[in-house]
Structure formats: structure tokens, C-alpha cells
Structure 1
Amino acid sequence: MIDDDPYILDLLTTVFTKEGFQHIYQASTGQEATSQTIKNNPAILLLDVMLPDVDGFTLCSRLRAQTSVPILFLTAKTTDLDKLQGFSLGGDDYITKPFNPLEVVARVKAQLKRSKQAETNHRAKTVYDYGYFTADANSGKLIVKGEQIDCPLLELKLLLYFCEHPHQVLSKHQIYRDVWGEYYGGDNTVMVHVRRLREKLEDDPSNPRWIKTVRGLGYIFEADRELP
């Protein structure tokens, strides 16, 4: 929980403790929040926007680059523009002050349940076998036409991301955000990694079969068969 108001931190700590939460950490500045996140690897973050050393929106971007856990804003900034900004920077929920502590607990539980289900689904499907090539997230291996291909981690992550989103047009910004964990820039980085993947996957990289360019929009992964 990241808030510069000690009353709110103590109130929520009391309520969460009564609801059975056992590992609750407090931070009153962005610097403390960053340190606590790295040290304790929390399952969820509650984040105020108005902090003494950094605004919560900026902090959200920094934390999102470190962790994929749900981030819930808990703030007195109530305009629609503020809410949209919070969501666009990686927030998963937005709760305005004053608040009902039990509602905060309910929303936290809902996000944790959703996060756990997503993790289960992700683990359930970590091998993508299209016959022509196989990408294995567990072993970190890429097999093309029966032969293992040396594939750096980021390139494999990018390929797995495409496999997770078949037949969808993905913008360069979206790919950079979800694969690299950053929110601005990265067009050239994505282009370079896509080109390297094509060189590993395609018989003719200049006329790709798998990862195709959608001019002006981004890329699309054209799986030629549905996986079970």
C-alpha cells in the first residue's frame, strides 16, 4: 500500500488483517514503494496518486516495468481524465476517496482471483506446436523443421506473445508495452526483433508466412492451424 497518509495506511492494514491478509507492506513515498516492490514481490499494489516525491501515474509506469501484478489506484483525483490516464499507464482498477474499506478489500480480492486464474491459464498452455515450428516457454527452446534454433530470450518472448494472440492485429506500441514492459517508444526495437524472428522461422523472410506486416497498423500472427 502506497500512500502518504498514515491514517489511511493504518486503517487499511487493520481491515485487510481482519480479512485474513498476512503480508501487508506500507510505503509513503515512491522511493519506498520501488524498494518494497523489489524486496517483497507483492501480489498486488494499492497506489495513491499524490505522493511527496513523485506522482502516482509516473510511479505506476515505473512499477509496471518491474512487475505484472495488479495495480489499483486509490486516490482523491476523481476526473474521468485522471481515471483514463491511470488505466492507460497500466492500472487495473481505480478507486476514489473517500472510500469504503470493505469495498477496497472486495476489489482487491477480485483482482487477485482474476490474476490467479490468468496465471493458471498461462501455465496450462506453455508449448505451442504448429508442426512447422514449436515454441516451448518451459524449456526456452525453439524447434523449426525438427531442428533446435538458437533463440535469445527476448525473441522467444516475442514469438510466444504472437502465439498467444493469433489472428489479431497487434500494434508496435502494444507489443513493446506487453513484451518489453515499457510504454513509450520501441518501434525500431520491435521491427528489429520481428526481422530476426522471421529469419529464424521463414523460408523467405521477405515474404513471411507466419508474422505478417499490416501496413500502418502493426503485425499479425497467421497460425495455419488451431492448437488443441
Structure 2
Amino acid sequence: MLKKLKVLMVDDDWKLRNLLRIYLSKEGFDTVEAAEGHEALLKIQNQSFDLIILDVMMPNMDGWQVCQSIRKTHSVPILMLTALGETKEKVQGLELGADDYLTKPFDPDELIARVHALIRRASTASSNQMENDVLNFPSLSIDRDGRQVMIQDRPLELTQKEFDLFDMLAINSGRVLSREQLIEKIWGFDFEGDARVVDIHVKNIREKLKKGGLHYSPIQTAWGIGYKFNPEVKS
């Protein structure tokens, strides 16, 4: 018997959690509920989840803070729910490591489609790893099998999507990849978010590489097109 996929639902509105439970249970998911951020983080420490649905507006600890805390230790896909329609609010969630967002009120079919898409992408990213495949660059190595980036033998903490993006650029070293190509390969054909998600993730990766002690910037901007990996360019 196949193990059911488990989803953590984090929202202070019990009515919405109940609706989410009904929608997801019909799709065969196991569901776990958390009414606020601290409770969610405790459950994440003690259980393994395939997806987290996270509301933004919650008391005491908002969804952005919860997302940021999760990303320090976990790469599980995060779908954020927000009643805020402004793009800047959605961009903030993506900057903190969210994988997708959905504005309330939402259509149940769209919710389920996004849930399946996120889990499918996470599964594909895991299954596409190449065994014992390590990419080596000056002061930098990428263990594709272990999904680990090292700077002078020190591990660099990247989120799942940050690693996927960095890896995709690295294996295509010297080749310019457009934002559309990167979205298609990493987020999938059905991604309906803002194309700036690529820019946000590149910005985060660059900052982490610099803080990690890398003396050059391997991700170069191809203005008006996208990005390319060039380990020979000094910062």
C-alpha cells in the first residue's frame, strides 16, 4: 500500500482549515493542522511533510516569519495563502523561500492543481538527481546527488528552489538561459506566478554565495534575456 502524502495546513481560521482538510482529503492526502506559527514549527520539527500550506496574516507570528524559519532547516514546498492582492506582498513571500502563492478567496480546483504541481516538481527534482555527479569550480563544488553546495569545503544552505536554479545554471555553464526557460525547467509549464521569481532567487543565491566567502560571482546577468553561469568572472 502506497504511503499517503502529508500536508500541513497553517491558518488561524478554523473554518478555512476545515475546508482545506475536506478538499485535500478527497484527493487522498493526509492532513495535519496548526492554528498559529509556533505550533506549526513544532509540528515540522517532529513530523515530515510533503507540502505546507501557509497563511500570511496570522497573530503573534505571521506567515512570512514562519516561512523564513522553515527555510533555515527544510526544503519542503510551501504554498502561501494571502488575502493581499498587491504584487509586492507576493514578492516578499517568494524572497523568503515560498514556492507559490494563492490569493483568497480561491477556487478549490485551482488549489488542488497548485498542490499537485508543487509536489510533482519536488518529486521530479529529487528523481532527476545524477548519482555521484559533482561539479567542481574554483573554490566551489556542487554535489548534485547530495544536493549540497560547498564553498572551500564549507556547506552553503540553499532552499530547494535555489539549489535547483543554481544547479540548472551550473550544468549549462557558459550558456545564457532565459527567465522563461528557467521557469519552465524548475517551476514547470503550469507556473502562473510572476516571472520575477527568477530574479528574486538569483539575488538570494548571490547574497548567500558572497556571505559564504566566495570571491567571485558565478551567476552573470544577460540583460533583457536571463542569466548564465560563468565561474571565471571576478566580482
TM value normalised by structure 2: 0.62
Alignment partner of 1:45: what SS? Answer: strand
2:24 maps to which residue? 16
Alignment partner of 1:73: what SS? Answer: strand
1:5 Cα offset (Å): 0.4
Contact 2:11 2:34 in 1 (8 A): yes
From the superposition, tell whether residues 6 and 173 of structure 1 become closer, same or farther in structure 2 (CA, over 3 Å). closer
CA distance, structure 2, for counterparts of residue 67 and residue 98 of structure 1: 28
CA distance, structure 1, for counterparts of residue 105 and residue 46 of structure 2: 30
CA distance, structure 2, for counterparts of residue 69 and residue 152 of structure 1: 25
Alignment partner of 1:72: what SS? Answer: strand
Q: Deviations over 1:188-211 (max 9, x none)?
A: x32x3x36xxxxxxxxxxxxxxxx
1:98 Cα offset (Å): 0.9
Structure 2 stretches of 5 or more lacking a match?
1-8, 177-200, 222-228
- The one-letter amino acid of 2:67's match is C
1:147 maps to which residue? none
From the superposition, tell whether residues 164 and 27 of structure 1 become closer, same or farther in structure 2 (CA, over 3 Å). farther
Alignment partner of 2:81: what SS? Answer: strand
From the superposition, tell whether residues 135 and 84 of structure 1 become closer, same or farther in structure 2 (CA, over 3 Å). closer
Instruction: Tell me if 1:113 matches 2:144.
Output: no
Alignment partner of 2:102: what SS? Answer: strand
1:36 maps to which residue? 43
CA distance, structure 2, for counterparts of residue 70 and residue 139 of structure 1: 18
1:221 Cα offset (Å): 2.3
Contact 2:90 2:101 in 1 (8 A): yes
Partner residue of 1:3 out of 5, 11, 16: 11
Q: Deviations over 1:134-157 (max 9, x none)?
A: 9766699xxxxxxxxxx74517x9
Contact 1:74 1:96 in 2 (8 A): yes
From the superposition, tell whether residues 176 and 65 of structure 1 become closer, same or farther in structure 2 (CA, over 3 Å). farther
Q: Deviations over 1:64-83 (max 9, x none)?
A: 11211211111211212211
Alignment of 1:198-213 (within 5 A): none
Partner residue of 1:53 out of 56, 60, 80: 60
Alignment partner of 1:95: what SS? Answer: strand
2:205 maps to which residue? 174
Alignment partner of 1:25: what SS? Answer: strand
CA distance, structure 1, for counterparts of residue 15 and residue 203 of structure 2: 43
Alignment of 1:101-140 (within 5 A): 101-121=108-128, 123-128=129-134
1:176 Cα offset (Å): 5.0
Contact 2:55 2:80 in 1 (8 A): yes
From the superposition, tell whether residues 173 and 5 of structure 1 become closer, same or farther in structure 2 (CA, over 3 Å). closer
Percent of residue pairs bearing the same amino acid type: 32
CA distance, structure 1, for counterparts of residue 206 and residue 66 of structure 2: 21
Q: How many residues align?
A: 181
Alignment partner of 2:11: what SS? Answer: coil
